A and B are shown apart, each in its own frame.
Chain A
Amino acid sequence: MKILGLLIIGLVLTPVSCTTMKLDKFPQPAETSFVKSRSANDVSVYFKPLSNEKDYKKYFGANLMDKGILSIYMSIKNDSPESSYIIPAESIKLSIKDYNGRTFYPTKIEEQNPLDIPFHDLVVASAVTNLAVQQYSDATIIQENFKSVRFRTQTIDAGKAASGFAYFNLKDIRRAEDYKLCFKIIDPIADKSIVSCEKIDLEKVDP
């Protein structure tokens, strides 16, 4: 009788506790949030590094910082009246200056050379829902989302914006004070390119 009771409770609890993970989309920045890039006059940029566990859980389903991954959301707007620009994803670089004045360049987690991220390890199943199927489901969602929202090489037409996340491996890098994100802006018609760099406020980020 007791066993039957436990089984019924289990069956009732399972659908309640085992729900497919839902992730929020990162909100588009407001027009006023864009910072006019110094080096490229008709390109505005907006950076937002994810620096707390709550945000990572909300937008990625797991705290990537635990694995030493820093995610920086970037939105680039082309304010030019007629030119189109290409922003190559591989040109996005992060430089970090520590308190001793030494500069580090954290490895970027590239599309072609992805870091072997153990997505399954990121999933923490609760005591009630410690089910393999739930963990597997969550891991697939985290992995798919991680790849889908990545900033990729793209052409930005006049008046348009492009956005996505750039990922960096901050493992083995000590606390620093100065973070700078640089990327290349290519004008494919004029066959010219410039590098734009912006300082990022990463005060709350503890690598």
Chain B
Amino acid sequence: MKKRKRLFLSLPILMVIIVLMIGCTFRIPQPIHRIDIPPVDNKINLQIGLVITEDYRNKEFIIKGGDTYILPVGENLVYHSKAIVNQVFTDPIILKGNEEKKYSEKIEYYLKPKVLMTERTTGVFSFSESKTTIGVEWKLYKKEPKPLWVETIVGTGVGQSGGVFELYHILTKNMKSALQDLFAKSQKAMVSSNLLRKLKNDKNLLAKSYKKKPDRVSEGSAPNDRLRSVTPGDTQSLMSQDLPDPKRKVSIDDIPSAELCAEQIRDLFSNKIVKGTHLRRGFSFIRYFKPDGTLVEESPKTGKLSGKWRTVRNRLCIKWNNGKGRCGKIAKKDGKINLYGVRKSSANAPAVVYEEFYTANDQ
């Protein structure tokens, strides 16, 4: 009887020992990290398609030891890749891995990022140095597998190794630091490349498709030289019938670097033609916020869209006629007006950047 009791008691202890020996797997979700990459003064005048493969989007940073830690970094990689490509190139289009053929008539150059390595070193003590490393290969090509430009960037984040109880926080912090280094170096490599600046779009097919639209210049209206110099695609968009001619550029220097209230948002956007970039979806656009609360957008990615805009509790809300829409906080940062998502996960990373504001001609 006593023997049975002993056996019965020792079973849970044995189970605990087995579990401890096997080790556990922990998944540490990663928010979109807010990283600071300085803006680019001189964009590369090249129209490219940024190819985001499923492997890249679903990339996980796996740390194996006694326990296994999985940090899904794919969404961060995609988000920041789109952001820097939008900063560096004029009018990039974001493509999924299987969309290359679909756009082959419109896009001449493709840029594909690929993760080559992920590593993490651990120090002896929790306060010892730890390195988080991510290596990404950027390959620009017309037709695979012949590359025109290749660069492998190794981003490193240095921090503490972290103890058991703080590991979640430390791993996330070190990951942010590695991403910051990776994308700052990637942007620098692209901007400083002589070869990328030499490449030219032989056939600007995307711009050509826009020329099919009614062209106001040919109808005799006064062209705006300053806007004309922005990019061919944007100028074409501004010439379409649904958008009025821009009159003058509005300075946003006086707007404080903080979150804007409803009144400030209305003053800033009402009756303005705004040039911006949708960072999350990866395309540039021109929007006309009419004073009557209606809105028109033109972009190479979405074509022509119309909808309504208003402010709700210090947020700018847009409802498109196709049923889609969202609200977001508007705040000024680094001289640009940013829209941030309402969700906690996207509160630190802008979804949309409004770069230039123009008063409409009929004001």
Contact = CB atoms under 8 A, between A and B. Distances in A.
Interface of A: 15, 18-20, 82, 84, 86, 111, 131, 133-134, 136-137, 140-141, 143-144, 147-148, 152-155, 157-158, 188-189, 191
A111 B114 CA distance: 13
Contacts of B156: 148
A111 B117 contact: yes
Contacts of A18: 124-125
A188 B124 CA distance: 46
A148 B119 contact: yes
B135 A148 contact: yes
B67 to A, nearest CB: 12
B147 A188 contact: yes
A28 B148 CA distance: 27
A141 B121 contact: yes
Contacts of B76: none
Interface residues of B, number: 30
Given A15-B125, A155-B149, A188-B146, 11 more contacts: A20-B124, A20-B128, A84-B195, A111-B117, A136-B122, A148-B135, A148-B154, A148-B156, A155-B150, A157-B193, A157-B194
The B interface is mostly helix, strand or loop, or mixed, namely strand
11 contacts: A134-B124, A136-B122, A140-B120, A144-B131, A144-B133, A147-B117, A147-B135, A148-B133, A148-B156, A152-B137, A154-B152
Interface in B130-170: 131, 133, 135, 137, 146-152, 154, 156
The 10 closest A-B pairs by CB, nearest first: A84-B195, A152-B152, A20-B123, A144-B119, A18-B124, A140-B121, A20-B128, A157-B194, A188-B148, A141-B121
A141 B149 CA distance: 31
A93 B104 CA distance: 35
Contacts of A141: 121, 131
B121 A158 contact: no
B116 A152 contact: yes
B127 to A, nearest CB: 10
A137 B195 contact: no
Nearest to A82: B194
A34 B150 CA distance: 23
B65 interface: yes
B156 to A, nearest CB: 8
A36 to B, nearest CB: 22
A144 B121 CA distance: 7
A14 B246 CA distance: 71
Contacts of A20: 123-124, 128-129
A26 to B, nearest CB: 15
Contacts of B154: 148
Contacts of B195: 84, 155, 157, 188-189
Interface in B31-86: 65
B198 interface: yes
Contacts of A19: 124
Contact of A155 (B65, B119, B146, B193): B193
B124 A133 contact: yes
A170 B116 CA distance: 24
A41 B192 CA distance: 25
A164 to B, nearest CB: 9
Which of B65, B124, B135, B146 has the most chain A CB atoms inside 10 A of its CB? B124
Interface in B168-227: 192-195, 198
Contact of A153 (B120, B124, B137, B146): B137
B128 A155 contact: no
Nearest to B192: A157
A154 B116 contact: no
Nearest to A131: B124
A136 B198 CA distance: 48
A84 B131 contact: no
Contacts of B135: 147-148, 152
Contacts of B152: 152-154
B188 to A, nearest CB: 13
A166 B148 CA distance: 23
Given A20-B128, A84-B195, A154 B133 contact: no
Nearest to A155: B149
Contacts of A152: 116, 135, 137, 152
A143 B131 CA distance: 12
Given A20-B129, A144-B133, A137 B122 contact: yes
A94 B280 CA distance: 45
Contacts of A154: 150-152
Nearest to A143: B119
B121 A137 contact: yes
Nearest to B195: A84
A8 B150 CA distance: 56
A93 to B, nearest CB: 18
B80 to A, nearest CB: 20
A94 B124 CA distance: 38
